[in-house]
Amino acid sequence: MRIETLADEAAVAQSAAAFIAGEARASVSARGRFVVALSGGRISTPMLRALADLDVPWHEVHVVQVDERIAPLGDSDRNLTQLRESLLAHAPLPAAHVHPMPVDDTDLPAAAERYSAELRSIAGSPPVLDLVHLGLGTDGHTASLVPGDAALDVLDAEVALTEPYQGRRRMTLTFPVVDHARRILWVVTGADKAAMLARLCEGDHSIPAGRVRQDRAFLIADRAAAGRPGSGPTR
């Protein structure tokens, strides 16, 4: 895994946005489209807002979700709400190329299966996403793959449902679809993430994030999360 440590959250957001834009251009040039899975989280807002202003071939971009809380449409807990406010309101992305997780469906298991089918329809079978953007929780979770949840062991489906976590059930991509991605981008900021970031970099499989394959990954962190002074590439 390649790691870049930058001074602060603002620098991380800009660097991550530039990386996504570069991957989009390269993917469209090579394959005619760019399928990206985006996560929510604190740093995602400035990252996505910066991305909206960059040179991206938007009409060939498809956006899917890494995970989503089971909450009503428009709820502030929804990652889709953040995605719409930070990116979709500012970038000329075709509406048909945005693929929200159907978490407002009354039959959630069927909705998860339907989203799996949607991923296969746009990214092949099994789906090969061009880029998966991930964050890191203070408990070592990533996406909504949280410690102790049965979704950690779902290996025969692209999408799974979790038990309640921090007050909400979730729908999430599973390890197989994350690991099949052409590139994985970790974006991690804040001193509260330092301990788990160290374990992620060590490939500690006792935390969910540590189970994600590392050979296709690029991690961008700020100094606080990296737990070291200075800035610049560390490995």
Confidence of residue 231 (pLDDT cuts 50, 70, 90): very low
Q: Where are the domains of the chain?
A: 22-182+191-233
Helix (H, G, I), strand (E, B) or coil at 4: strand
pLDDT tens per residue across span 52-76: 999 999 999 999 999 999 999 999 9
pLDDT tens per residue across span 155-178: 999 999 999 999 999 999 999 999
Whole-number CA gyration radius for the chain? 16
Give percent of the chain above pLDDT 70.
97
CATH topology of domain 22-182+191-233: Rossmann fold (3.40.50)
Query: What distance in Å separates the CA atoms of residue 66 and residue 132, rounded to the nearest whole number?
Result: 7
pLDDT tens per residue across span 100-124: 999 999 999 999 999 999 999 999 9
Query: What distance in Å separates the CA atoms of residue 232 and residue 2, rounded to the nearest whole number?
Result: 12
pLDDT of residue 228: 63
Helices 44-52 and 9-31 cross at an angle (nearest 10°) of 50
Give the torsion sign (CA, 150, 156, 160, 161).
Answer: negative
Q: Which residue, among 163, 133, 112, has the nearest Cα to 36 in the 3D structure? A: 133
